[in-house]
Amino acid sequence: MSGPVNDESRLRLTVLGGSAPTPGPGIGCSGYLLRLGRTAVVIDFGPGIFAELQRHFDVRSLDAIVISHMHVDHVLDLLALRHALAHDPVRPLRPLPVWLPPGGADLLREAAAPFDRCDAVGRFDYWVRMREYDPSAPLSLGSLTLQFAPTVHDIPCWAIRVDSVVGAIGYTADTGPSADLSGFFADIDLLIAEATLTGPTADPSRGSLTPAEAGALATACGSNSLLLTHFWPSTDRADALRRGASTFKGRIEVAQPGLEVEIDSRRRA
């Protein structure tokens, strides 16, 4: 675990999970730690992510947690976080900003209400400062600027593009192939793409991608590299990697907790 470091030349992704819709053995659901200089942001906070995050970074030093959509496998550890911040004797210096999609704050307060009734310490938003982002506007978090684009999913969901002076990372969140995200992700350095599906893919309105579709999206947007994620616990990762590589010829990896990917401005120059 570490706090902020002051290296403005490296944009670092630390993968915190990659399983869906439940944690798998040794791997939590969706969560990605991004660090640049003194800025540290986690995108999505599904079950298993809080435990893995503590191997890499002190949650109290985060600039923010940002949530793509309100499915359980992307948000559930916010409840664990709330309990931790309320009871841990090491207090955060300030309430932790949690940026939710529109409508997310009420949903999370409703989810937390039963736990508030059996916990005398405090309400959900005592140490967690819940806010809702405007998907049509950029969100500036320290050295990182986030933008949002709607995906095709069974509830409202936003893909996220993260820009910095060092480089750019795209995250599909959960999406089907009919979302047109290639322009939104144009010329990024790394695409984090869900690659959930292993079975038949005939339904054009479905809300998830195959590994080959994730690879095709990375190719279409001109990404240098691709990280496949959001796999069923039973998915054969090596097979997913092969299928992703059938449509993308750059560097490609599958999500595993602790995997680090760096974008280095000196190497880009």
At 163 the three-state DSSP class reads: strand
Nearest to Zn ion of 39, 210 (CB atom):
210
Q: What are phi and psi of 134, to 5 degrees?
A: -95, 110
Which residues neighbour 106 within 8 Å (Cβ) at sequence distance 6 or greater?
none
Under the binding rule (CB under 5 A), the answer on residue 174 touching Zn ion is: yes
The amino acid that residue 184 corresponds to is: F
The β-bridge partners of 168 are 163
Per CB under 5 A, which region of 46-54, 66-74, 100-108, 261-269 contacts Zn ion? 66-74
State the number of binding residues for Zn ion (CB under 5 A): 2
Q: Give the separation between CA 43 and CA 30, rounded to whole angstroms.
A: 8
Per CB under 5 A, which region of 97-105, 108-116, 166-174, 194-202 contacts Zn ion? 166-174
Window 184-213: residues binding Zn ion (CB under 5 A): none
Return the structure tokens found at 186: 């144009």
Q: Give the separation between CA 127 and CA 16, rounded to whole angstroms.
A: 22
Per CB under 5 A, which region of 59-67, 174-182, 194-202, 228-236 contacts Zn ion? 174-182
12, 35, 56, 71: which one binds Zn ion (CB under 5 A): 71
Q: Give the separation between CA 115 and CA 94, rounded to whole angstroms.
A: 22
The minimum distance between CB 179 and Zn ion, in angstroms, equals: 13
159 and 68 in contact (C-beta within 8 Å)?
yes
Nearest to Zn ion of 9, 22 (CB atom):
22
Nearest to Zn ion of 40, 75 (CB atom):
75
Per CB under 5 A, which region of 90-98, 118-126, 173-181, 238-246 contacts Zn ion? 173-181
Give residues in contact with Zn ion (CB under 5 A): 71, 174
